[in-house]
A and B are shown apart, each in its own frame.
Chain A
Amino acid sequence: MAGTVKTTWAMGHRRMLLAWLLALGLGAGLLVYFHRSPPPDPILIGVIHGLTGNMAVSELPLVQSITLAVEEINQQGGLLGRPVAMIVADSQSDPDIAAQEAERLILEAGVSALFACWTSACRKAVKPVVERHQHLMFYPLQYEGLEQSPHIIYGGLAPNQQIIPGTRWALDHWGNRVYLLGSDYIFPRTAHVIIKDLIRAVDGQVVGERYVPLGDDQMADIMAELAQLSPDVIVNTINGVSNLALFRALHQSNLTHLPIVSFSVAERELASMPDIHHPNHFAVWGYFQSLDTPGNRAFVQQFQTRFGADETVSDPMEAAYVNVKLWAQAVQTSGSITPEQVNQSVLLQSVPAPSGIVSIDGGTRHAWRMSYVGQARPDGQFDIVFSLPDPIRPMPFPGHRPLHVWQQIAQRLSADINS
């Protein structure tokens, strides 16, 4: 009898325990069900570059860099628990199309930020769009300066980080008689203003100044002039394929002894002319592939692993890559993906970059960057021959002239070009 009672009790107890466990499980399940995070939508970024057209050769590698950066971010778990996805738009190397795509990406795709443009023309076309939408664009190229949009982050070199130290180096190293050679568009025009300021500051002499149309390969007149003038140094701001014509012409004209300092020839361009080696050819950049730091070695290796062992990396590519990292860190820090928030946050960011520490200067929206002078090697790489010890504070409006003067100059130059 006692046994039966005990058994009944034990069974009742067990049944109650089971019910409790069930209830607990149900509760926990409900909790998880209502608490589970929605499947994370990716954070979208817009990438606008010339995938076709005459800029495609230069701009496609930038898309690669951005891709690498995005992939790295996603590998580390994305941002704010969400993956990052890029929407790549083809500007067809046309600034107007770039502007249209920017509008589309901002309005239709709702991207968090834009990574766009190579040329200043492109930037100047997209700039009003991002400003109108109070959006945020990252620009990866070194450029002529004289601009500071509150909605653009300038990740490339400002003039005081490339043109000024490069010119100073040329003057200090090769002499005061300078021949200026550039493509006929905004960057060389503006650069030459600054360069001439520097030459004047040391009582130097501009022995000649020439502009060749973009894509032009007629160098005969210039060769004749150079042979006649024999400047101490040529400062070269020619952009694009004309550089190939220039160096071929120098080669053919036996002017390879002339030192030449280029502001728009990087590893990619050098690699496009492997049979023409100009021994006194120097380039000024904030980054070279040959930079011998652990950070850079890792970056180059990752890039080559991802896109091919014979791929080269250059300053604009590194800047495009670092731009994504800066944006990502701004998102992380602000905990937001809205352009307004990120635009505020990004002004305080620094990242360890392949080129060294890259920080955004909140005052100018440009990056603190190193400045290196590299001597071209026959294999398409550069040997770094000079660098300033620390990153240079960016000054889009170089300090030796007041701001309003620069603004007047900029207006005048753009008017000249448009006419």
Chain B
Amino acid sequence: MIPGSITMRLLLGLGLLVVLPILLLTSYMLHAYEQAMEHAVVQGMATMADQKHREIDTYLRERLHETQLLSQSAQVRGTIEDTPQTLQDHEVQSFLDTFMQQTGYYDLLLINAQGDVVFSILEEDDLNTNLLHGPYQDTALAQGFQRARQLLTTDLTGFYPYPPSADAVAAFMVSPVLHDGRFIGALAVQLNLSLLEPVINDRTGLGSTGEIVMAQQAQDHALYMVNLRHIPEAAYTYRRELSDIAPPMGAALSGQGGQGITLDYAGISVVAAWRYVPALRWGMVVKMDAAEALAPVHQLRRLTAMVLGGILLITVLLAAVFAHSLIQPMRRLTRVTSEISAGNHQQRAVEQGPRELRHLARAFNQMTDQLIQFQNALEARVTARTLDLEHANARLHHLAHHDTLTNLPNRYSLTDRLAQALSLSQREGPGLAVLFIDMDHFKNINDTLGHQVGDQLLIQVAERLRDCVRDSDVVARLGGDEFMVILTQINTPDQAGMVAHKIQGRLSKPFRIMDLVLHSSPSIGISLSPHDGTSVEALMKHADTAMYQAKSEGRNTFRFFCAEMNTAAQARMEIENDLRQALEQQQFHLVYQPQMDRQQGCFVSAEALLRWEHPQKGLIPPDRFIPVAEETGLILPLGEWVLAEACRQMRLWQQQGQRIERVAVNLSARQLVSDTLIGHVSRLLEYHHLTPDRLELEITESTAMREPTSSLRQLQSLRDLGIRLSIDDFGTGHSSLSYLKHLPVQALKLDKSFVRDIPDNRNSRAICAATITLAHTMGIQVVAEGVETTAQADFLGSLQCDLLQGYLYGRPLPADQWAATLTQV
């Protein structure tokens, strides 16, 4: 039975409503009945005790009376006064015999006034002894005689062992014998204890456990006078200390009468009545085991318990039946509900049972119908929505994995596919190749022709790339002009190389876009798995590195990744870090190389050259760190510092009164296009109180060519300031002299590679001569660099070269050593 269930509640409720009142009523009535019964039983026991008491009293009184009567008879008197004669008398003999037989006494004795036992029927040892002085003066007989003599009263002595009768326990009834008012002696009859037994042991009405217990007090003990049910040979042998005695007997011996339920000498619960019997000076307890005396009570209790149990059982059964009739429809409803929820939509509740439950079933069925309709509608909608969702999901997935412009997989998708391809290759053998493709000069196209053109270019690049590879290969766009191709099933680097070559060829062809024909080319880096790495990151990074290598080695080419590339990249990184530190810690200084005016024959200017003295690595050559500074943008702060330092030194020289006209500073490409350049230069000149002609700025051909439009604008601005401009390393680039005429420069510096080979090399001589001549025709001065020998100086002099620079005239020197140099010359 589950707590909280309807069955349980019905049981509890019915139990409370039916069983509890019955229980209360019954226990109250049972209690009242028990009380009455107990009272009646106890009272009955009291009546019995009183009856027994009265019986004993009456018996003894009658015996005393008889004895008294006998003592008054002439025969007795005669016997005491004249023993011999009377004894012969047959009449007396037969009278005594009859008396003894009727009474059951043990003996009859006659004592004369002096205490002599003059007659005894049994003629035991007490005969002819004197009770006042003789051997039996301490016996009950002697005491009885004394009392009779003193009180002239007939009475019974106590029960004690009597020695002349072999210590049989006996008492004596002694009656004084008077003759004419004079005491002439006493009559004594001897009662053995056993004589009382029939009187005492009559247990009529006491049932099977009833008992009459008698005891007398002997000093501080109770001496039991009858045999007991639990102690068979108790009579006159069983004694117990008064302090230890059973309560009823203790009370009786103290003279108290009473009745109640108490414990007997054996510790058994009994219904008892106790009395003091003065005639015997005994305590008497009439008792019956409570178990028997109160048996009707117990029986009634059992019966009541059974009836109650029956009522309880019937209640439980009725409640169960009742609950079942209520619960059955509910169970059916529950079953239908669970079947419907399990999908059996055809199920409907049976509309049976009590009215309320029928209503419930009907309502349930209606609700079920509605629910099913609702569910069907819902399912249709869910199906439609699911379809929509799936479409949207697929689209989202495509968007997430593809580049929208070219519809190629994007970077995210690529890494996934590369990972798949890698794990496939690792399991199945052949390696794969990753090609990193970057379109050269794409930024220029984007900047100059606009994004639309750039985008179209990228689309065509993507198409061409796809045409170049197999279907199993992957082409992806990483972003901007960067593409990546994964070539699977690659066994040798050559296979990858062939594809790279094919790509290079295809992408180098002109692109036709919106009536424009554009030229571009790819730089391709290749990394191979497993040779160059087995992880997505390593392969992509290495391909990237290789691509940069290709780019730095002149573009429109492809390079395989090699470990050295990696080392170079690391060195570059190191330099970049060192550079940042160097800028902060001022590890740079400038050295100045003098430029000789050939006509004047003196130094007129100096080229400021940057030197980096690394605290640990020592002097680091500019060709190692300048490109890095250029790439990272560090060239801008570095360039500014160089400009400022050179201006400061120029001013210093001016103040020292040195005969030097100007200082030349190299300008990098980034510096040239920087928005802040013009402002910075003019502020420096102003700050150091220098006129613009004191500063010369050198740019390389490639610097000027990189962003021709903005470069030209910047140069023009510088020129407008009045600053002298010169082209450095002239002759090494691809620019043509025709381009030179657009530049607002005052000088060009003939590259030292030409100077080195003159005067012996004819080509060099020709170039030098042509350059100088051409320059002069355009009004541009020529500075020859790297002049180391007088032969070279003479040759250049013959060509009317304006300024000479080189070891022949002076190495680059720190400013403080300059004064001496200048003075020397």
- Using a CB–CB cutoff of 8 Å, the interface residues on chain A facing chain B are 20, 24, 27, 31, 160, 164-165, 168, 172, 197-198, 200-203, 329, 332-333, 335, 345, 348-353, 356-359, 361-363, 368, 388-393, 395, 398-400, 402
Contact = CB atoms under 8 A, between A and B. Distances in A.
Nearest to A389: B143
Contacts of B150: 164-165, 168, 172, 388
B147 interface: yes
A393 B144 CA distance: 13
B692 interface: no
Chain A CB within 10 A, most for which of B54, B181, B278: B278
15 contacts: A20-B16, A160-B152, A164-B152, A197-B181, A332-B258, A335-B43, A348-B50, A351-B256, A363-B57, A368-B278, A392-B151, A395-B153, A398-B152, A399-B175, A402-B72
Contacts of B258: 332-333
Contacts of A345: 50
Contacts of B178: 201, 400
Given A333-B46, A350-B276, A399 B255 contact: no
B281 A400 contact: no
Given A350-B276, A359-B276, A395-B153, A200 B257 contact: no
A357 B281 CA distance: 9
B181 A200 contact: yes
Given A160-B151, A357-B276, A392-B153, A362 B254 contact: no
B182 A200 contact: yes
Nearest to A402: B72
Chain B CB within 10 A, most for which of A31, A335, A350, A352: A350
B61 interface: yes
B281 A353 contact: no
B46 A361 contact: no
B54 A362 contact: yes
A168 B785 CA distance: 183
A361 B256 contact: no
A400 B57 contact: no
Contacts of A356: 255
Given A164-B151, A392-B153, 14 more contacts: A27-B24, A165-B151, A168-B150, A198-B152, A200-B181, A203-B182, A332-B258, A333-B258, A349-B257, A363-B58, A388-B150, A389-B143, A390-B158, A399-B176
B190 interface: no
A204 to B, nearest CB: 11
Nearest to A24: B24
B279 A201 contact: no
B182 A333 contact: no
Chain A interface, DSSP helix/strand/loop, else mixed: mixed
Nearest to A203: B182
Contacts of A361: 57, 278-279
A356 B46 CA distance: 24
B68 interface: yes
Contacts of A335: 43
Chain B interface, DSSP helix/strand/loop, else mixed: mixed
A359 to B, nearest CB: 4
A258 to B, nearest CB: 23
Instruction: State the 9 A-B residue pairs at the shortest beta-carbon distance, nearest first.
Output: A357-B255, A359-B278, A350-B276, A352-B255, A400-B152, A368-B278, A201-B183, A200-B181, A168-B150
| Contact-residue bracket for chain B | 35 or more
Contacts of A392: 151, 153, 155
Interface in B237-261: 254-259
A350 B278 contact: yes
A359 B255 contact: yes
A165 B147 CA distance: 9
Nearest to A9: B9
A358 B255 contact: yes
Contacts of B46: 333
A76 B508 CA distance: 136
B52 to A, nearest CB: 10
A202 B152 CA distance: 11
A298 B94 CA distance: 57
Interface in B153-181: 153-155, 158, 175-176, 178, 181
B153 A399 contact: yes
Contacts of B182: 200-203
Contacts of B278: 350, 357, 359, 361, 368, 391, 393
Interface string B43-87: 100100010011001100100000010001000000000000000
B152 A352 contact: no
Contacts of A393: 153, 155, 278-279
Contacts of A353: 255
A202 B114 CA distance: 12
A368 B151 CA distance: 14
Contacts of B155: 392-393
B154 A399 contact: yes
B275 interface: yes
Contacts of A395: 153
Nearest to B71: A399
Interface in B257-271: 257-259
A202 B151 CA distance: 12
Given A335-B43, A391-B278, A400-B176, A202 B257 contact: no
A172 B149 CA distance: 11
Contacts of A357: 254-255, 276, 278
A20 to B, nearest CB: 7
A413 B279 CA distance: 32
Contacts of B147: 388
